[in-house]
Amino acid sequence: MHDIEPWHGWRDEYSAESDKKSPFFGRKYDEFTFSNKIYNYFIHPQWDFFGSETLFGKILYVDYKRHFALIELIGEWNDCITNDSMFLKRDLADILIKHNISRFVVLCDNVLNFHGDDDSYYEEWYEDIRDDDGWICLVNTFDHVSSEMKKYRLYNYLHFGPEFNAINWRTKKPAFIIDEIEDILNNSQKNLL
């Protein structure tokens, strides 16, 4: 796991450590010292610790004018033991919501497992952004991760599934990813009518 780096394709346009509104503003990274671990596995030093021992993240891009953020995660999303949804909500989402971010893309290519528990933090996150036409979309979840999330009815608060797993996000600019997700969401709503 130590050689899996967060996506760096948009670094010329945005870096969380240079963004005064980011929870990671001013953070320094040592490219040669590996100190963060998920269980017994060292992870690349570019990943950011936000309170969870099993799940790390990276804010890849934020657009304050269009009110969206793209966040990449790595590890095991464990609400059952380590209450990762609380850390994700309190230490990442809440800070961005204070700066009017209401659309969240959570890139889950490196989320290896999900263990659910209570859905209250997801509900709270959804409630905090819903009035601003906000949403939370998980992209590229593994099938077993999606299945576990469905068991806990997280589809009431989060968008995830096959239609969002077909997004090849690394080949696009952030604004195009948001447009693609919104097209999928709008088409889903039209199909419900």
Residue 193: the pLDDT is 45
Q: Chain-centre distance of CA 90, in angstroms?
A: 13
Q: Give the global pTM.
A: 0.94
Read off the pLDDT of residues 107-155 as tens digits, 9 standing for 90 and up.
999 999 999 999 999 999 999 999 889 999 999 999 999 999 999 999 9
Q: Which CATH architecture has domain 16-192?
A: 2-Layer Sandwich (3.30)
pLDDT greater than 70 at residue 191: no
* Coil vs helix vs strand at 115: strand
- Cβ-contact 191, 183 below 8 angstroms: no
Read off the pLDDT of residues 34-47 as tens digits, 9 standing for 90 and up.
778 888 888 888 99
Q: What is the rounded average pLDDT for all residues in the chain?
A: 93
